[in-house]
Chains A and B, each alone.
Chain A
Amino acid sequence: MDGYLGGYAVVGLVLVAGVLFVTVSFGANRLLRPDRPTAQKLLTYECGVDPVGGGWAQSYVRYYVFTFLYVVFAVDAVFLFPWATVFDAPGFGLATLVEMFVFLGFVAVGILYAWRKGVLSWV
């Protein structure tokens, strides 16, 4: 367990142990349990309600746009935090302040566009 790659040996051992654990427990389960399937037992079970329709029904993910907008602002915040800690430090002047607002301006244009195209209204 020495050397540069030695630390990875532990990771490998954990991996092997994990695979063994799953194989042994599922295998034991298979061997010990009785197996008498009926049509009723093979139904997809969810909260005691019989399944309706196929598994390939389409659903409309209407909130994805909001997810996008959230991601935009999350990334935005990643830029803002380091900037906020240094922008008034000596050596950084007005230019630093203006630069961040230029960036925010571009993000704001995106929001403006989304609003005009009717993305922000819930349908």
Chain B
Amino acid sequence: MQTIQSVDYLAVAPPLMLALTAVGVLVADAFLPARRSPWIGGAALTGVLLALAADLVLAVGVLPQDRPRGTFCVGASCSYSVDRFTLLFQAVLLVAGTVVLLLANGEVRRAGLPAGEFHFLLLTALAGALTIAAGRDLVILVVGLEVVSLPVFALVALRRYDGRSAEAGLTMFLVSVTSTAVMLFGVSLVYGATGSMLLDTISAALRRPGTPHTVAATGVVLVLVGFGFKVSAVPFHFWAPDTYQGAPIAVAAFLSVVSKAAGFAGLVLVLTVGFGSYAGVWGPLVAVLAAASMTVGNLVALRQRAAIRLLAWSSIAQAGYMLAPLGAAAGLVGEPRVLGVLAAATVGYVAIYAVMNLGVFAVLSFVGWIDGLGGGRLDDYRGMARSHPALALALAFCLACLAGLPPGLAGLFAKIVVFRGVLTGGYGWLAVLMAVNTVLGLAYYLAWASRLFAPGPSESTAAFGPVPRHVAIAVGLAVAGTALMSVLPQLVLGVAPTLGG
């Protein structure tokens, strides 16, 4: 009797490499003298690039045949599977990780953060995020979410001399632990009703008439609530602004891009691959979450004067757009192909949002802390176009993308795909609400972008000093990614998880 599962090491290579690099970095930091700590950042970056290389190797094997590469399988169902969806998410997460590491390079030194611990925690969280994208099993997804969340609490609270940083960490910890408890209760109900943790087996069980459907539906709703906290959808959003404001800027970027993308990867997988036949239960709820998130997020963002808080509320609003296509799924039960189209709209939006938001955060981290505010106030950006023309242009381009306005075509394509998804589901009211919200969004994104070119006390922006090389590379990466998706949006649009039957 063979009870050992064989492990496909190439399939698990990207998260494995990150995890091993994380441990290596921690040990190296414990033994290296303090003056060598710049090496740590380099080592962490090498780990991320190695993982990216492993992802490319995987892509060469998986993409041409379009057959998922699974491991940890029981029969035909696998707990861990690498398909187009996984590869896209892992690539986006790794690029985001690279940019965050580049941003952290300066901040770790300036803010006096402990280098070894910072990079260890960041790499661990990134490894967890990659695992979520590949998980096809409720246990892997929940454990992955925790591996993302636990290090982030510590990262948020890492500016130890600042009370707000500790408060931010504690807020996030309490909210996240509560949401995990709710989600685990939901998972246990689903497991009790279906007798399986594997998403495709759950999907099959949910379609059988003998399943206790009330119990399963309660479980599905609780799991959805848990994910609502993780992706900071209204009404589970209240932790986000304070946490972003208290955290180091690079960590805020990580929260806003990597954590959110990982949460959405898990949400899409659970809802479409696992609970697809219950779209009638979760669809309307997701639609309400989407509508509330975009409206509340945009309305509150209008009143923000601090850059980081504006981004926090804008990321809540953007989460609303990402949820919208899934919210339109209620009428499409039993049409897996259309469900796939809706999932693909969400996935495309998340991928595009990730790169354009990174560009904004990269400029924020260059501006640094002004009067105890990461990234300063919007008025601090007045006249930046004259002192730092390239950075100001990059910021304006990314803001235009977030608003969905040309020349930011990537953002426009993302919005169009989401609109089409919502209309496919026949949710006219949601589409109208989205249109109104897009206009609201224009107001504050453009108000910020126009300040860059407004005349102002130029000596204040000149005080930001010359642009360090790592910031230039980070901004360049984010802008290049956004520009690439403006030209070739088909790279990220139309990618959905492999749905069974």
Chain B residues within an 8 Å CB radius of A30: none
Task: Check A116–B4 contact: CB distance below 8 A.
Answer: no
Task: Give the contact stretch, choosing among B22-30, B43-51, B273-281, B310-318.
Answer: B22-30
Chain A residues within an 8 Å CB radius of B3: 91-92
Q: How far does the alpha carbon of A95 sit from the alpha carbon of B27 in the complex, in Å?
A: 26
Judge whether B31 is part of the interface by a CB distance below 8 angstroms: yes
Judge whether B487 is part of the interface by a CB distance below 8 angstroms: no
Task: Check B1–A90 contact: CB distance below 8 A.
Answer: yes
Task: Give the contact stretch, choosing among A16-24, A42-50, A60-68, A106-114.
Answer: A106-114
Chain A contact-residue range equals 10 to 19
Chain A residue nearest to B120 in the complex (CB): A113
Judge whether B2 is part of the interface by a CB distance below 8 angstroms: yes
Chain A residues within an 8 Å CB radius of B27: 109, 112-113
- Distance (whole angstroms) from the CB of A50 to the closest CB of chain B: 36
Describe A's contact surface by its main secondary structure.
helix
Task: Check B30–A112 contact: CB distance below 8 A.
Answer: yes
Chain A residues within an 8 Å CB radius of B23: 106, 109
Chain B residues within an 8 Å CB radius of A91: 1-4
Task: Check A92–B4 contact: CB distance below 8 A.
Answer: yes
- Distance (whole angstroms) from the CB of B17 to the closest CB of chain A: 15
Q: B11-46 interface mask toward A, CB cutoff 8 Å, 1 = contact, 0 = none?
A: 000000000000100110011000000000000000
Task: Check A109–B26 contact: CB distance below 8 A.
Answer: yes
Q: How far does the alpha carbon of A113 sit from the alpha carbon of B23 in the complex, in Å?
A: 10
Chain A residues within an 8 Å CB radius of B26: 109, 113
Task: Check B30–A116 contact: CB distance below 8 A.
Answer: yes
Judge whether A27 is part of the interface by a CB distance below 8 angstroms: no
Scan residues 277-332 of chain B and give those whose CB is less than 8 A from a CB of chain A. Answer: none
Q: How far does the alpha carbon of A48 sit from the alpha carbon of B31 in the complex, in Å?
A: 53
Chain B residues within an 8 Å CB radius of A92: 3-4
Q: B153-184 interface mask toward A, CB cutoff 8 Å, 1 = contact, 0 = none?
A: 00000000000000000000000000000000
Judge whether A117 is part of the interface by a CB distance below 8 angstroms: yes
Chain B residues within an 8 Å CB radius of A116: 30-31
Judge whether A82 is part of the interface by a CB distance below 8 angstroms: no
Q: A96-B4, A109-B27, A116-B30 are in contact. List 4 more A-B contacts (CB 8 A).
A: A91-B4, A106-B23, A113-B26, A117-B30
A interface residues with partner B (beta carbon < 8 Å):
90-93, 95-96, 106, 109, 112-113, 116-117
Q: Can you list 16 A-B pairs, Cβ within 8 angstroms, ordered by A?
A: A91-B1, A91-B2, A91-B3, A91-B4, A92-B4, A93-B4, A95-B4, A109-B26, A109-B27, A112-B27, A112-B30, A113-B26, A113-B27, A113-B30, A116-B31, A117-B30
